[in-house]
Amino acid sequence: MSLGRRAENGARGALESMGAIADSSSGMVEEIRDILRPHARLAVDVEALSPAADLFEAGMTSHSSVVVMLALEEHFDVHFPDEMLTREVFRSIDSIGRAITDLRGRAAV
């Protein structure tokens, strides 16, 4: 492996450890979309939403966000503690991804 590639991988690893990349991986984004589709009751097509788009502005209610949380817990085998039950955590696909990465990290420790 070249020094350049090694440095690139090192930087990527550091960012992943901060949860800055893992949450926006296309795999996780698609998994979250699959959960939002039946549970978030959005007023728009979930495929049309960017990962940063505001889900509450797209029609997700607080009640729907609770249902989304339950589906996420089941799918990713994580538990959202009470302190994570905020609008910021459920605001976008990206923020949900960051939360799941964080919860998986905690479980791995």
Partner 1 sequence: MQAQVTRAAIGAVGIDIVEVSDVEDALARFGERYVARVYTRAELGAASGASQGRRLAAVAALKEAALKALAPGDEAADWRSIEVETGAAGGPRISLRGGLAQLAERHGILALRGTVGLSRSHALAVVVAETAA
What are the E-state strand segments in the chain?
Answer: none
Task: State which residue, 65 or 101, has the beta carbon closest to partner 1.
Answer: 65
**Could you tell me the smallest distance in angstroms from the CB atom of residue 98 to partner 1?**
14
**Could you tell me the smallest distance in angstroms from the CB atom of residue 70 to partner 1?**
5
Q: Closest Cα to residue 59, out of 39, 89, 73?
A: 39
Write down the H helix ranges in 40-92: 62-76
Tokens, residue 83 = 């302190």
Angle (CA) 83-87-90 rounded to 5° is: 95
Task: State which residue, 6 or 79, has the beta carbon closest to partner 1.
Answer: 79
**Could you tell me the smallest distance in angstroms from the CB atom of residue 64 to partner 1?**
7
Task: State which residue, 7 or 70, has the beta carbon closest to partner 1.
Answer: 70
Binding residues vs partner 1 (CB under 8 A): 41, 61-64, 66-67, 69-71, 73, 82-88
